[in-house]
Amino acid sequence: MNSVYKKEKRKFIIILCSLILALLISFILSMSIGRYSVSLGDTFRYLFGQPIEDVSFKVLNNLRLPRTLVAICVGCALAVSGTIYQSIFNNKLVSPDILGVSSGASVGACFGILVGFSTGLVSLFAFICGFITVFLTMLISKAFKNKSNLIIILCGLAVGGLMSSLVGLMKYLADNEMKLAEMTFWLLGDLSKVTINDFWVALPTTVICCIVALILSWRLNIISLGKKESKSLGVNYNATTIVLIVVATILTAVSVSISGTIGWIGLVIPNLVRLLIGSDNKKVLPVSMLFGAVFMVICDMLARSIAPNEIPLSVITGIIGTPLFLFSIFKKRKEIQ
């Protein structure tokens, strides 16, 4: 038994170290690759504070660095959010927008674009509306006086559907092609307009929420067993669930408000991680953080470099995420039966 534990611990450490290395490599490549190519030498010189050509400095400092750092935060946040929701609802098909946060944030962003708000205000409106939508979902589920998680999921789907209809209405009301195009591009995910200020908003939120999630990871394991089991093991099911839902909602709302709606990461990454190391959230959460960050950086790098015009992020995550998700289903086909 002890040798099995040591083997699992060694495997976990190897995977963790491999992902940290992969994140460093993808970070360097993301800084260098794009429509304007920057040599690896210039990238390293820039990172170590040495002088480089003025154009390369501006590209790295004003475009690549903020964008790559935000991609790391967004990938990490969405993967952790997906892990939390899947464990709480004990459903591996649940994604971070299950309670309507992404749909609500989309309503806020589209409203901001329609009215003509600045980028900062659009993000703020997206964040507020995302949170309001989740609150509305929880409020409606309480009205049914049924404490089943299925009721919460169904209410989330209903409220999310309403928000999607409101997004459609705003797209219909958009009075010119520019606003409609901006809405469409935002809804498909976009990091082209992020600045270093977006990173300084995303970083503390992501770090604090991820730390809380890691601290509560053992409780998350127990909650995934069900309400009765949680109570018998001395865990306050309701309080812990609310805290974790708030954490997951903040992570998703901040990510969506900065980068737009990006699908697949919160659904696919946790499932792939569980294939690698099992279902213990004390291991799944840290590995998901790193895996999500690497995945997002690679997708963003591809989005801006494989075509003359930038490809929306959800297109890239969908193209890569679909075969990965099918692979995870194939590996779990016996469990599904």
Q: Say if residues 156 and 100 touch (Cβ distance below 8 Å).
A: yes
Rounded to two decimals, the pTM is: 0.93
How many Å apart are CA 197 and CA 174, to the nearest integer? 28
Q: What is the pLDDT of residues 172-205, one digit of tens each?
A: 888 777 888 888 888 888 888 899 999 999 999 9
Q: What is the pLDDT of residues 265-274, one digit of tens each?
A: 998 999 999 9
Model confidence at 33: pLDDT above 60: yes
Amino acid at 63: L
Q: What is the pLDDT of residues 230-240, one digit of tens each?
A: 888 888 888 89
How many Å apart are CA 226 and CA 40, to the nearest integer? 51
Nearest to 252 by CA among 32, 52, 97: 97
Q: What is the mean pLDDT of the chain?
A: 89
Model confidence at 12: pLDDT above 70: yes
Q: Mind spelling out the 3-state secondary structure of the chain?
A: CHHHHHHHHHHHHHHHHHHHHHHHHHHHHHHHCCCCCCCHHHHHHHHCCCCCCHHHHHHHHHHHHHHHHHHHHHHHHHHHHHHHHHHHCCCCCCCCCCCCHHHHHHHHHHHHHHHCCCHHHHHHHHHHHHHHHHHHHHHHHHHCCCCCHHHHHHHHHHHHHHHHHHHHHHHHHCCCHHHHHHHHHHHCCCCCCCCHHHHHHHHHHHHHHHHHHHHCHHHHHHHCCCHHHHHHCCCCHHHHHHHHHHHHHHHHHHHHHHHCCCCCHHHHHHHHHHHHHCCCHHHHHHHHHHHHHHHHHHHHHHHHHCCCCCCCHHHHHHHHHHHHHHHHHHHCHHHHC
pLDDT at residue 335, as a whole number: 67
Q: What is the pLDDT of residues 254-295, one digit of tens each?
A: 999 999 889 889 989 999 999 888 889 999 999 999 999 999
How many Å apart are CA 121 and CA 141, to the nearest integer? 30
Q: Exposed (0-12), middle (13-18) or buried (19+): which is 308, by Cβ within 10 Å?
A: exposed
Q: What is the pLDDT of residues 89-99, one digit of tens each?
A: 888 888 888 88
Q: Say if residues 91 and 83 touch (Cβ distance below 8 Å).
A: no
**278 C-beta neighbours (distance < 10 Å), count:** 13
Nearest to 191 by CA among 24, 291, 314: 314
Structure tokens at 110: 């589209």
pLDDT grade, residue 337 (50/70/90)? low
Nearest to 77 by CA among 222, 259, 221, 215: 259
Model confidence at 67: pLDDT above 90: yes
CB under 8 A, 24+ apart: contacts of 12-21: 12/277, 12/283, 12/287, 15/276, 15/277, 15/287, 16/286, 16/287, 16/290, 19/287, 19/290, 19/291, 19/294, 20/290
